Amino acid sequence: MAGDRADWAVELHGVHRRYGRGRTAVHALRGIDLTLRPGTFTAVMGPSGSGKSTFLQCAAGLDRPTTGTVRLGGTEITGMKENKLTALRRTRLGFVFQAFNLLPSLTVEQNVVLPMRLAGHRPDRRRTAEVLAQVGLSDKARRRPAQLSGGQQQRVAIARALVTRPDVVFADEPTGALDTTTAAEILSLLRQAVDTLPHARTTSRGGTPMATVVMVTHDPSAAAWADRVLFLADGEIVDHLDRGTPAQIADRMTALTAPHAFTQAAA
C-alpha cells in the first residue's frame, strides 16, 4: 500500500506474556507500552530473566502476548493468522541473531535472496548486489558461510535482513559471538542502515523513512550505538537512556542488578 506509512514503526500497548498458569505461572512481560519511530535504533538491556527475549519475540511476531497489542508499521499483528504473520515477517521484518543462522549449503548470495524467495518474489539481483556492497561483501557473493569469518557471516545476515527493505530489523545479541573490533564493524552497519537506508515505500508526506532497529544486547558498548537504551527488569521497562556512553549504560545496568534496586517490580 504505497503512501500508507504509519507514524510508528513499532507499537506495543499493554503487552503481557505469561508462561503457564496458576501458582507456577511466570510473568515474563508485565505490561509493556512502547512506541518507536521509523528511523530509530533502540537497544534493550536487562538482567538475565528480565524478559528481553520474550519482548523481542512478542514485538517481532514470533510469539504472541497473553494480553495487549503489537503493531508493526501500522499493522496490528495481534490475532493475525499464522500464514499472514509469516508473510509479514518475511517481507516487512529483518532478523539478525547471535548465531548468524545462515544456511551452510547456500552461497552468500543465495542466503541473502532467501527472504525474497520465501516470500514468493523473484530474487532482485540488483538489490542483492546493493546490500552486499553495503556490508562490504561484494567479492564474497559465491562463497559459502563456512569459508567466511564470524564477522563476515554476520555481515551476510545483515544483508539478508536488509534486502527486503524491512520496516523493522530485530537483532538478538548480534555481536555476542564476535570480538570487540568485529562487533564494532557490525554495529556500525546497523547504525548505517538506520541513518541511510532508503525505504521502498514513501510516506504520505513524501519523506523516505529509514530502517528501524531493535536490538537486545547485554553489552553496554553495543547498546551505546543505539539512540535510546531501554532497561527491562522483571518484565517491565523501568528506565531508559538516550545517547548514553558505554560507561553511563553500564552504570544503569549495575543499578538494575543491585539488590532491591527495583522493589516495585517484585510487588
**Given the rule CB under 6 A, which residues bind ligand ADP?**
19, 26, 28, 46, 48-54
CB of 26 to ligand ADP, least distance (A): 4
Pairing, β 75-76 against β 236-242: unpaired
CB of 147 to ligand ADP, least distance (A): 32
Given CA atoms 57, 59, 60, 63 in this order, what sign does their dihedral have? positive
CB of 95 to ligand ADP, least distance (A): 16
36: phi then psi, degrees, rounded to nearest 5: -120, 130
Nearer to ligand ADP among residue 50 and residue 212 (C-beta): 50
CB of 173 to ligand ADP, least distance (A): 9
Nearer to ligand ADP among residue 27 and residue 71 (C-beta): 27
CB of 253 to ligand ADP, least distance (A): 12
State how far the Cα of 140 lies from the Cα of 212, in Å rounded to an integer: 27
Given CA atoms 62, 67, 70, 74 in this order, what sign does their dihedral have? positive
Nearer to ligand ADP among residue 58 and residue 135 (C-beta): 58
Q: Which amino acid is at 196?
A: T
**Interior CA angle at 71 toward 167 and 225, to 5°?**
50
**Interior CA angle at 101 toward 99 and 105, to 5°?**
130
Helix, strand, coil percentages (3-state) for the chain, rounded to 5, are 35, 25, 40
Nearer to ligand ADP among residue 28 and residue 159 (C-beta): 28
Nearer to ligand ADP among residue 53 and residue 257 (C-beta): 53
C-alpha cell at 33: 507500552
Nearer to ligand ADP among residue 26 and residue 103 (C-beta): 26
CB of 53 to ligand ADP, least distance (A): 3
Q: Using the 8-state DSSP alphabet, how is residue 199 labeled?
A: P
CB of 52 to ligand ADP, least distance (A): 3
How far is the CA of 37 from the CAs of 20, 73, 179, in angstroms?
A: 33, 9, 31
CB of 205 to ligand ADP, least distance (A): 37
Nearer to ligand ADP among residue 18 and residue 37 (C-beta): 18
Q: Which residues contact 263 (CB under 8 A, 6 or more apart)?
A: none
| H-state helical runs in 49-81 | 52-59
Q: Which of 29, 48, 19, 17 is nearest to 217 (CA)?
A: 48
State how far the Cα of 68 lies from the Cα of 164, in Å rounded to an integer: 28
